[in-house]
A and B are shown apart, each in its own frame.
Chain A
Amino acid sequence: MQDMVEASSASPDIIPDISPGLIGNLPEIYRRLSRPALHEALRKMQLVRRFEENAEQAYMRGLIHGTMHLSIGQEASAIGVCVALTDRDYITSTHRGHGHCIGKGAEIGRMFAEFFGRETGYCRGRGGSMHIADPSKGNLGANGIVGGGIPIAVGAALSAKRLGTGAVSLSFFGDGASNEGAFHEALNMASIWKLPVIFICENNQYGMSTSTERSMAVKNVADRAASYGMPGVIVDGNRFAEVAAASFDAVERARRGDGPTLIECKTYRIRGHSRSDRNRYRTKEEIESWQERDPIKLFQTELRNYGLIEDSEIASIQTSVEEEIKAGLQFASDSPLPSTMDVTRDVYTSV
């Protein structure tokens, strides 16, 4: 990790129960987060994975129409970032945003219900996979337009600053979005106005089929931060601890009034871009090499090695995830469909 802001000192009472021989090597984030919080993070990463695998299956079985963009392989960046936020903080998300929504507290049942086009879905069946939002938890929405959410997050940060709420705003986007004008305009404004906003680039190496090597003249998206006078931090996006540590630092910096940070999480999307992807632009070997660095396995192994989780606890997390998925799917399929009479409802707040 580069350019880490100073580490805050851990308070002794939250130092987790770990093997004495390992304590010297324990990453700072594992001292900052309590053992239950780390377990919850692992649970959420598994929940994202299983949610998407089940959504994919439902799609194959014809229960879901349209398209969807799976973030399998990117769970550490979604959950590692959101762990640094509170419900009053804002996020904007992307077309590949299921992990961000779950990280920000979305209910699995209402997410499945949205995929199933039901009235109980987060968007009452009007948005689908690409538009899940939950303003009550600060989730201003996934977005179907690449880069569309970035200036919106800056606007939310402007509100937070002007209204003095103490909230920060955070925008997820991909490497592809960093080639959109909206990215550059938004980062510039965030910086000149010193707004409490964090830019999270999940660099999964490809904008659809076009690699970053073919679409950017600089090596890293984080290099672009220099143009806007803000720190650009690169982390291993498949390692929860690195992502979370950088996110906490950036959130603290924003809350202090010191302005925005750009964090680039180097990661990889294991599945294709969307349902239409035939994977012609990358090799099987490349995909397999990233699969070996599965973020969930890495996190689980690390927790186990540091003595922060028992195998029995991993098993019970898996059980609880499966139960939540099953209940969510049941809720969705039991939910009512929207009435076609309501097709123009909610176009306006009032007419």
Chain B
Amino acid sequence: MTFIPASEKILDIGNPDRELSYSQAIQEAMALAMEADPRVILMGEDIGTYGGAFQVTGDLIHRFGEDRVMDTPISELGGAGVAVGAALTGLRPIFEFQFSDFATLAMEQIVNQAAKLRYMLGGAVSVPLVMRFPAGSGTGAAAQHSQSLEAWLAHVPGLKVVQPATPYDAKGLLLAAIADPDPVMIFEHKLLYKMKGAVPEGHYTVPLDKAEIRRAGRDLTIVATSIMVHRALDAAAALAEEGIEAEVIDLRSLRPIDTATIVQSVKRTHRLLCVYEGVKTLGIGAEVSAAIAESEAFDFLDAPIARLGGAEAPLPYNPELEKASVPQVPDIIVSALALAQGRL
């Protein structure tokens, strides 16, 4: 496990030679995989000439042609099914949903087919499929274009579910997902697409089953996902000025979940705060909390476990309402202070 000194900022992780944005890092991963393996194809709505709703596929159609950068009709269910069938029979499709919310239109193929085919058929097949989901709020797109549904899919055995928080991880997790024989669901945060960070050139992978400690600390553990990792790091910097050292763990993988890293951290810090954008109830924080409650770390707890998650409401349009619906840096500071100062 790499410990990142508290003074280092998240952007400094990895090879410092070059910076790319999160979306450029994803695009580079796809291009590398497509160059290396003719079986890799991209499918999705408006990913060709348009370049994707968030310009993640960009100009790839000019490099690889429309046979490998395939615009699908607006048919999420059928398109996902075609990707499943292609993965079963020799291709390595990367399927882009325009918004993660549209996974709801394709749940049948994701949950009943992609996730279960290998098991249902007694191990006779694999489904090497990658699905990319632009997720999260903060763009003013309201309730049907802002959700964080990763916990839904993380509830399904047979799928792997990851949430990259940095450009480095966005590339490394995607390359790992493409190489993986099983269906991997990647939830990308829309507000991170423009974020820049160090990204090494060439091929590398980030494991699909390991959390990462982004900042070491002794007073409490903050387990965060996706954009909340950055908010937790900002909160941790403010807490440090109050003399409270928060350890920030980027959970990174929701299925499988890296319980060992969390348990070891909580045994050191004795306090746990979970921060995630998905709706709080029955979200990933519930699983992290339960993992601690069921582990030897339970006896080390000096305070109740705390969770900060999305509001119990659809995402609203008004910017202030929208912000109020998901954890912000001040919310994390307040909760962490209460936890560290024994007020919980």
Q: How far is the CA of A135 from the CA of B70 in the complex (A)?
A: 26
Instruction: Kindly identify, within residues 91 to 115 of chain A, every residue whose CB is under 8 Å from any CB belonging to chain B.
Output: 92
Residues of A contacting B86 with CB < 8 Å?
155-156, 158-159, 162
Given B70, B78, B119, B160, which contacts A154 in the complex, CB threshold below 8 Å? B78
Q: A123-B120, A154-B82 are in contact. Are A188 and B73 (CB under 8 A)?
A: yes
B101 within 8 A of A: no
Mark interface residues in A150-180 (1 if CB within 8 Å of B CB, else 0).
1111111111101101000100000000000
> When A127-B120, A148-B113, A347-B118 are in contact, do A189 and B78 touch as well, CB less than 8 Å?
yes
A31 within 8 A of B: no
B181's partner among A131, A148, A165, A350 (CB-CB below 8 A) is A350
List CB contacts (< 8 Å) of B46-94 with chain A. 67, 70, 72-73, 75, 77-91, 93
A126 with B122: CB separation less than 8 A: yes
Report whether A159 and B67 are in contact in the complex, using a CB–CB cutoff of 8 Å. Answer: no
Number of interface residues of B (CB under 8 A): 45
User: Which residue of chain B has the shortest Cβ distance to A193 in the bound complex?
Assistant: B70
CB nearest neighbor in B for A122: B122
> In the assembled complex, which residues on chain A have CB atoms less than 8 Å from the CB atom of B91?
155, 158-159, 162-163
Q: Are A148 and B81 in contact (CB under 8 A)?
A: yes
B96 on interface, CB distance cutoff 8 Å: no
Alpha-carbon separation in the docked complex, A143 to B84 (Å): 13
A-B contact count (CB 8 A): 157
- Interface-central residue, A90, A156, A165, by most chain B CB under 10 Å: A156
CB distance from A300 to the nearest CB of B (A): 34
Bound-complex Cα distance A351 to B180 (A): 10
Instruction: Check A152–B81 contact: CB distance below 8 A.
Output: yes
In the bound complex, residues from chain B placing their C-beta under 8 Å from that of A280 are none
Residues of chain A within 8 A of B39, CB atoms compared: 163
In whole angstroms, how far apart are the Cα atoms of A156 and B117 in the complex? 14
CB pair A186–B41 under 8 Å, yes or no, is no
Q: How far, in angstroms, from A157 to B78 measured CA to CA in the complex?
A: 14
Task: Give the residue name and chain of the A residue nearest to B93 (CB).
Answer: A155
Within 8 A of A (CB), among B153-205: 157-158, 160, 180-182
Q: How many residues on A have C-beta within 8 angstroms of the other chain's C-beta atoms? A: 51
Interface string of A117-142 (1 = CB under 8 A from B): 00001111111000101110000110
Asked if B5 CB lies within 8 Å of chain A CBs, one says no
Task: Verify B120–A90 contact, CB threshold 8 A.
Answer: no
Instruction: Confirm or deny: A145 has a beta carbon within 8 angstroms of a beta carbon on chain B.
Output: yes
B87 touches A123 (CB 8 A): no
Cα–Cα distance between A134 and B82 once the two chains are bound (Å): 19
Interface string of A267-300 (1 = CB under 8 A from B): 0000000000000000000000000000000000
With an 8 A cutoff between CB atoms, is A181 at the interface?
yes
CB under 8 Å from chain A, chain B span 2-56: 39, 41
Chain B residues within 8 Å of A350, by CB: 180-182
A311→B125 CA distance, assembly (Å)? 43
Q: Inside 8 A of A148's CB, which chain B residues have their CB?
A: 81, 108-109, 112-113
Q: Does B121 sit within 8 A of A, measured CB to CB?
A: yes
Q: Are B118 and A135 in contact (CB under 8 A)?
A: no
B123 touches A133 (CB 8 A): no
By a beta-carbon cutoff of 8 Å, the part of chain B in contact with chain A is 39, 41, 67, 70, 72-73, 75, 77-91, 93, 108-109, 112-113, 117-126, 157-158, 160, 180-182, 209, 256
